[in-house]
Amino acid sequence: MNKELTFSDNVFNPDVIMNSGQVFRMQREGDIYSAFSGANQLQFYRTKADRFMFFCEDDQWDFWQSYFDFDTDYEKYNHAVRESKDPFLLKSLEVGKGMRILRQDLWETFVSYLISQNNNIPKIKKSIQILCDRYSDGMAFPTAEVLSAVSTEELSNGTALGYRADYISGLSKQVASGQLDLEAFRGHDWEKTVEMLLTIKGIGPKVANCIALYGLHVMDSYPIDTWMKKIISEDYSSMDQKEYMAWLHGHFAGFEGYVQQLQFYCKRK
DNA sequence: TCCCAGGCTTGGT
DNA sequence: ACCAAGCATGGG
């Protein structure tokens, strides 16, 4: 099916989204954007300045609508950002306008952020693509069932996963056996969600917040990584990390993750 | 060669 | 509760 939708640049900018570090399988070739998540795939392109044409399988549109969070008005978030008059945030919004927080396939999000630890974005993308090529058709993300049948040795060979292969193997087996139901992670508040995620081997505070935000759409979670630490020390030098977190929550309760995503994108750019 | 990358586990205090 | 070492891999 195809669908044409109108968005202002302030609320949907695929170039910003795909380079924001929250997604590893969205790319642009010429004028055509492609996105892959789980077993879903989508192509789209800009038809006018503020219009986009989307193409996907009929039964996948609901997923993609949810993926891009199209039902949420991001202008209300942007308004709050402008109201704050915080210099670094105003700059971040200018650079990163059109950012959205995606709602990605949950299994793929778990595995992707297990891979992300102590790693860099190009290499994360590379490892994920190798998994898709080797254990799927190159487009759908390999299922837990398939990965659980692969030995840890094979999984770590030629994938650049390193020690992370062990975490992925372990999680795959738990999910494939039914011992762990990823759907059970939905529907809890931030604290409970993170607490549950931390029980999984290989998931620490940073990865837990990434999965909460990008997979479970818990919008008040915000991962603190090396870049965010750099932002706090360089752009909020009057605060320590704790004070920064209190400030973020105080001004942007309920969408801290979006605000932080703008900052992260701006800093890396 | 060392340092860093969207860090976590383990084993010490 | 906090701290350091170790962990695979590749790029600068």
Per residue in A126-175, pLDDT tens?
999 999 999 999 999 999 999 999 999 999 999 999 999 999 999 999 99
Contacts of residue A229, defined as CB under 8 A and 6 or more positions apart, other chains included, come to A241
* Residue A93, pLDDT score: 98
| Dist CA A125 CA A91 (whole Å) | 28
Q: What is the pLDDT of residue A225?
A: 94
Q: Residue A19: what pLDDT?
A: 98
Minimum CA–C1' distance nucleotide for A113:
B6
Distance of C1' in C6 from CA in A190, Å: 31
Measured at the CA of A224, the angle between CA A241 and CA A69, to 5 degrees, comes to 125
A226 CB-to-strand B distance under 7 Å: yes
- Cα separation of A141 and A109, whole Å? 10
Smallest CA–C1' separation from A159, nucleotide: C9
Using CA atoms, how far apart are residues A255 and A237, in angstroms rounded to an integer?
23
Nucleotide nearest to A126 (CA to C1'): C10
Note the CA–C1' distance, A25 to C10, in angstroms.
20
Question: How high is the pLDDT of residue A223?
Answer: 97
Crossing angle, helix A241-252 and helix A256-268, to 10 degrees?
Answer: 120
pLDDT at A69: 98
Tokens standing for residue A103: 């709602």
A125 contact partners, CB below 8 Å, separation of at least 6: A24, A25
Nucleotide with C1' nearest the A117 CA: B7
Q: Residue A21 CA to C8 C1' — how many Å?
A: 22
The predicted model scores a pTM of 0.98
Helix (H) or strand (E) holding A45: strand A40-48
Residue nearest to nucleotide C10 (CA to C1'): A123
CA nearest to A193, candidates A175, A202, A205 = A205
Give pLDDT, residue A195.
98
Q: Is the minimum distance from the CB of A166 to strand B below 7 Å?
A: no
Q: What is the mean pLDDT of each run of 10 residues along chain A (269 residues)?
A: 97 98 98 98 97 98 98 98 98 98 98 98 98 98 98 98 98 98 98 98 98 98 96 96 96 98 97
Q: How far is the CA of A122 from the C1' of C12 (A)?
A: 13
Neighbours of A29 (CB within 10 A): 8
- Is residue A196 within 8 A of residue A85, CB to CB? The reply is no
Query: Could you check: is the Cβ of residue A225 within 7 Å of any atom of nucleic acid strand B?
Result: yes
- Strand B closer than 7 Å to the CB of A32? no
Nearest CA among A265, A269, A261, A252 for reference residue A101: A261
Using a 7 Å CB cut-off, which residues contact strand C?
A: A 118-120, 122-123, 156, 160-163
Chain C nucleotides close to protein (CB under 7 A) are: 7-11
